A = this chain, B = another copy of it.
């Protein structure tokens, strides 16, 4: 007996299969133009690859900005609730989730039962989201996944503008003046860490802190943020799937 959680984010669509105890399969694809198509493809792939019988799927819960586009979902739940559920499942001692996705960033506070006690979200400004790093990687002509690697040994250059558009011009000028990609990348990670800090510090950050969302794979950003917040920040293999995990669990709970 399985439940499926699907999280259609702005950039990536994620799905997981939950068997009542464990996450037994997960999959991720780009969201592309159509959240509905991504949902169909994901559902098809994950049932095929995990070799589960469609009749054993008892519930499909959808979350993420594209959740409204999935007609096959039995339930639609907000990202905030799903991220909270997912984090609590991964580690019961998590009290703060910092999530940076492709086009938003959020901080979620959890009580000891995994219920959301407070949250803050930015989805209006590209600064401080994956979009910022995506725009900048394009200018640096590197893949977004390389950012932490190339920046790790460099002295960060100051990027004065928080705004993605103005920071873009700054980076173009820095490249023109001969600055190294490494030091620019380090400066950009510092900039997004500052922006995240200013969001996160509006709530009282409590241990244990978990970093999720696509951008959490930037280990250097995690370190910078950890230093600024003066707290250890955890992440895991599941960090990109937190919303989908939470959705699958909510599906299971409501069986």
Report A's interface with B, CB cutoff 8 A: 33, 103, 124-126, 131, 135, 161-166, 173, 176
Q: Which residues of B contact A103 (CB under 8 A)?
A: 166
Q: How far is the CA of A33 from the CA of B176 in the complex (A)?
A: 10
Copies in the complex: 2
| B124-A165 in contact (CB<8A) | no
Q: Which residues of B contact A125 (CB under 8 A)?
A: 125, 163
| B124-A162 in contact (CB<8A) | yes
Ordered by A's residue number, 17 sampled pairs between the chains whose C-beta atoms are within 8 Å are A33-B173, A33-B176, A103-B166, A124-B162, A124-B163, A124-B166, A125-B125, A125-B163, A126-B163, A126-B165, A126-B166, A131-B166, A135-B165, A163-B164, A164-B164, A164-B165, A165-B165
Q: Which residues of B contact A124 (CB under 8 A)?
A: 161-163, 166
Q: Interface centre among A103, A125, A161, by most B CB within 10 Å?
A: A125
CB-nearest residue of chain B relative to A162?
B124
Q: Which residues of B contact A161 (CB under 8 A)?
A: 124
Contact of A165 among B33, B131, B173, B176 (CB under 8 A): B131
Q: How far is the CA of A135 from the CA of B163 in the complex (A)?
A: 14
Q: How far is the CA of A126 from the CA of B176 in the complex (A)?
A: 22
CB distance from A42 to the nearest CB of B (A): 21
Q: How far is the CA of A165 from the CA of B173 in the complex (A)?
A: 19
Q: Which residues of B contact A173 (CB under 8 A)?
A: 33
CB-nearest residue of chain B relative to A165?
B126
Q: How far is the CA of A127 from the CA of B161 in the complex (A)?
A: 14
CB distance from A69 to the nearest CB of B (A): 15
Q: How far is the CA of A125 from the CA of B164 in the complex (A)?
A: 9
CB distance from A68 to the nearest CB of B (A): 15
CB distance from A251 to the nearest CB of B (A): 30
Q: Which residues of B contact A131 (CB under 8 A)?
A: 165-166
Q: Interface centre among A131, A162, A163, by most B CB within 10 Å?
A: A163
CB distance from A12 to the nearest CB of B (A): 15
